Amino acid sequence: MEPLIKIENLTVGYDNTPVLENVNLDIFEKDFIGVIGPNGGGKTTLLKAVLGLLKPSGGKITFRKDIAGKKKPIGYLPQVRHIDRKFPITVFDVVRSGFLMKQKELSSSDLKQKINRLLDETGISNIRHKAIGELSGGQMQRVFLCRALISEPKILILDEPDTFVDNRFEGELYNRLIQLNKEIAIILVSHDLGTISSYVKTIACVNGDLHYHLSNNITQEQLDGYNCPIQIISHGDIPHTILKHHH
């Protein structure tokens, strides 16, 4: 089976200083990859390289033919703490900004309906005219999930979607991801070991390089065995372990 995305010997960073070196990873249809690792280990950098927001200084990222091209069918939920809340934009327009298809493929009234349906399904239709600066952290996550889903992507990339959310939304979110994963590939960055173990199929540990685990069952021994440096921060009521940093 040909991967959707093939990452080969990727080296990428900022201002000529690499954050990640020689990373290799194949992402296949219906993968559900949990990306874990310590703060500053390069998880977001990896996602940005896949999204084409950072240019690799070495190696390459190849997309399968049917998803290659300028407007790749990738939905992205960025870390909400990086979002400028002062930016004057409404919930509805944030979701619309995620729409990638050419305008002529969908009339503006159909697009409006599609956005409203998605907001409804996510339980936030009542805030559609609010400015993003007025939202709670959990509401922001819901809005950015809708933005990531509006183009019906083949790959969904989520960077810490469990930050700022209440337990109820966390449950809803992961059930929804499991449903979506029947059709699409998901890459999920999380610091929550409970989440990772419960929902994802495989795990990538990122800390300057990448170790790939063909299982979601992580234990301290496994992490030691794979030399997988990680510091887990868990929240919610899922039992968790805080693992010490190791090399």
Ligand X SMILES: Nc1ncnc2c1ncn2[C@@H]1O[C@H](COP(=O)(O)OP(=O)(O)OP(=O)(O)O)[C@@H](O)[C@H]1O
**Residues found near ligand X in the complex (CB under 6 A):** 14, 19, 37, 39-45
Nearer to ligand X, 159 or 170 (CB): 159
CA distance 25 to 18: 18
Nearest distance from C-beta of residue 170 to ligand X, angstroms: 18
Structure tokens at 78: 């960025």
CB-CB contact of 233 with 243 (8 Å): no
Contact 185, 4 (CB under 8 A): yes
Taking the complex as a whole, how short is the minimal distance between the CB of residue 173 and ligand X, in angstroms?
18
Helix/strand/coil percent split, the chain, to 5: 35, 25, 45
The least distance separating ligand X from the CB of residue 54, rounded to whole angstroms, comes to 9
Return phi, psi of residue 98, to 5°: -85, -5
CB of 65 to ligand X, least distance (A): 29
For ligand X, which is the closer residue by CB, 31 or 160?
Answer: 160
CB of 94 to ligand X, least distance (A): 21
On whether the CB atoms of residues 33 and 4 are closer than 8 A, the answer is: no
| Rg (alpha carbons) of the chain, rounded to whole number | 18
Which of 16/179 has CB closer to ligand X? 16
As measured in angstroms, the least distance from the Cβ of 109 to ligand X is: 39
Do the Cβ atoms of 218 and 196 come closer than 8 Å? yes
Q: Which residue matches tokens 């997988």? A: 228
Residue 128 CA to residue 71 CA, distance in Å, equals: 26
User: Which residue number, 37 or 138, has a Cβ lying nearer to ligand X?
Assistant: 37
Q: Which residue, 76 or 92, has its beta carbon nearer to ligand X?
A: 76
Compare residues 54 and 118 and give the one whose CB is closer to ligand X: 54
